[in-house]
Amino acid sequence: MKTSNQNAPPKPWRQFAPWQLPVEVMIWVTVFGLAAVANTLVIVMDAGRDGMGMPVWKPVVWEASSAIVSLALLPALFGMCRRWPLHFDTLRRHLLIYVIASVVWSLLHVVGMVLLRKLAYAMAGGHYDFGNWPRQLFYEYLKDVRTFSLIVAVHQSYEWFWRRWQGEAHVLDAPDDGSAPNPAERPERFLVRKLGREFLVAANDIEWLQAAGNYVNLRVRDRDYPLRSTVTAIESMLDPARFTRIHRSYIVNLDQVASIEPLETGDARVHLKDGTVLPCSRTYRDVLKPR
């Protein structure tokens, strides 16, 4: 096995990481855009085949409004997926959350697209009638739940692949009873698995940690290694002489701290030696300064 300082991330990972968010946005915009165009063409072709005169702008408005609202709802849905990820061991516990979320998604989607359609029709001098709301809501939910499920499945699969491409950490020699480890039981190294390779990351090489849903990202030399844990649990495993909590979502290696910038709100900013700036809440500020 190799140590972390001997394993630079693969070149494709380095090249893709800065573009990850723009690429994801572009992909989803393209997917919903192409679906809207295809659905519009189908509606226009069906209307022409049935001999029904229909202005092209109407199906354009219908499909565009649906796509726009769906795209606007994606960040909240992805945030929920990260907060309550679906795994074999969490499926039963989180399934109800996703069922409720699918109903909320459909309601927001329908209300949003109806408002956009009414606005577009009003600008064209017309009136949009959604029809019988209870019946239409049920009909739209039957369609939306399929879209919702597909988005969740794609996002969860992508997150799974991304963690394994980037590298996913595991605690070595964790206590079996789930209790907080004593100093002799604190892991000195973490096992990282990445695309079939395994290597070790020294605990003291961790620069800072950030909570991310059911994971804690270990920051080591410009790389994030997700660890399946809570920030409180991992805090108990780290050496308190070297690591300290500065925020409900952040733990920092004291050796990496360059300065502390107090804020008028009572909070602070922690500046690290590599230029990274982390938030420090007032709860932990007074504890951090003497450290």
For the record, the structure tokens of 187 come out as 């892991």
What's the start-to-end Cα distance of the chain, in Å? Answer: 34
CA distance 286 to 132: 59
Tens-place pLDDT, residues 221-241: 878 888 888 888 889 888 988
pTM over the 0.95 mark: no
Q: How far is CA 156 from CA 152, 168, 185, in A?
A: 6, 15, 33
Average pLDDT of span 159-163: 77
Per-residue pLDDT tens digits for 238-278: 898 899 999 999 999 999 999 999 998 889 999 999 899 99
DSSP state of 254: G
Phi, psi for residue 63 in degrees, rounded to 5: -75, -40
The predicted structure's pLDDT at residue 179 = 47
Instruction: Please state at what angle helix 57-83 crosses helix 20-49, rounded to 10 degrees.
Output: 140
- What confidence category does residue 180 fall into, taking pLDDT thresholds of 50, 70 and 90? very low
Using alpha carbons, select from 70, 31, 35, 37 the residue that is nearest to residue 56.
37
CA neighbor of 104 nearest in space, from 73, 83, 67, 62 = 73
Question: Alpha-carbon distance 187 to 158, whole Å?
Answer: 30
